[in-house]
Amino acid sequence: MYFFLYIVTVINLLQIEKIAREQFCLHRASIHGLGHWKQVAENGIVLSTQPGTDGIVVQLFALLHDCKRMDEYTDTEHGQRAAEFAVRIRSQHLKALSDEQFEKLHWACGYHNHGQVHDDPTIGACFDADRLELTRVGILPRADLMCTPIGKRMAVKMKHSFILSSD
């Protein structure tokens, strides 16, 4: 007889969402607000099916990455503020994360808006989940700036769909 030990990460995503919303100073209907976070989370579910991707980190990224934004357009430091916010809530709300999970979350939040690509599957999925949402502001995601195979395919499909609809 075999016994398996399953380690369950217990993080209350609804509580994290509530805390993130409390931090968010822009209008509820902001293009960087809750609707965007939820779409990033949905993209993250698809992207988290890739080998080596930590879906918990991707979902936390979706909720935190823009929560410290101070304006809609030119706030280049919002990612770093989101990463610092994650540090502040770690001991109480993110204590179930391993150090490795937290480092990936921290890095992804801090650098998601710098136009970088990353070869770590989890950080890449975070970046791609957000970039696939660029269409909400009239920008087609570029396949060459996507980090994951699924993200690249989705960006190419979006471009082809746009081209076909423009004809």
- Per-residue pLDDT of the chain (167 residues), as tens digits, is 444 444 445 789 999 999 999 999 999 889 999 999 999 999 999 999 999 999 999 999 999 999 999 999 889 999 999 999 999 999 999 999 999 999 999 999 999 999 899 999 999 999 999 999 999 989 999 999 999 999 999 999 998 887 666 65
In whole angstroms, give the CA distance from residue 140 to residue 56: 27
Q: Which of 36, 32, 54, 75 is nearest to 126 (CA)?
A: 54
What is the domain partition of the chain in residue ranges?
A: 13-166
Contact 133, 39 (CB under 8 A): yes
The pLDDT assigned to 8 comes to 46
Neighbouring CB atoms inside 10 A of 98's CB total 12
The pLDDT assigned to 166 comes to 61
The pair of three-digit structure tokens given for residue 40, joined into one six-digit string: 């990033």
- Taking domain 13-166, whether its CATH number is 1.20.200.10 is answered by no
In whole angstroms, give the CA distance from residue 56 to residue 59: 5
The pLDDT assigned to 165 comes to 67
Q: Which of 98, 97, 57, 65 is nearest to 81 (CA)?
A: 65
In whole angstroms, give the CA distance from residue 9 to residue 23: 24
Neighbouring CB atoms inside 10 A of 40's CB total 25
DSSP for residue 1: -
DSSP for residue 49: T
Sorted by sequence, the CB contacts under 8 Å of residue 6 that are 6+ apart come out as none
Contact 133, 139 (CB under 8 A): no
The pair of three-digit structure tokens given for residue 36, joined into one six-digit string: 């965007």
In whole angstroms, give the CA distance from residue 28 to residue 58: 23
pLDDT tens-digit readout, 66-108: 999 999 988 999 999 999 999 999 999 999 999 999 999 999 9
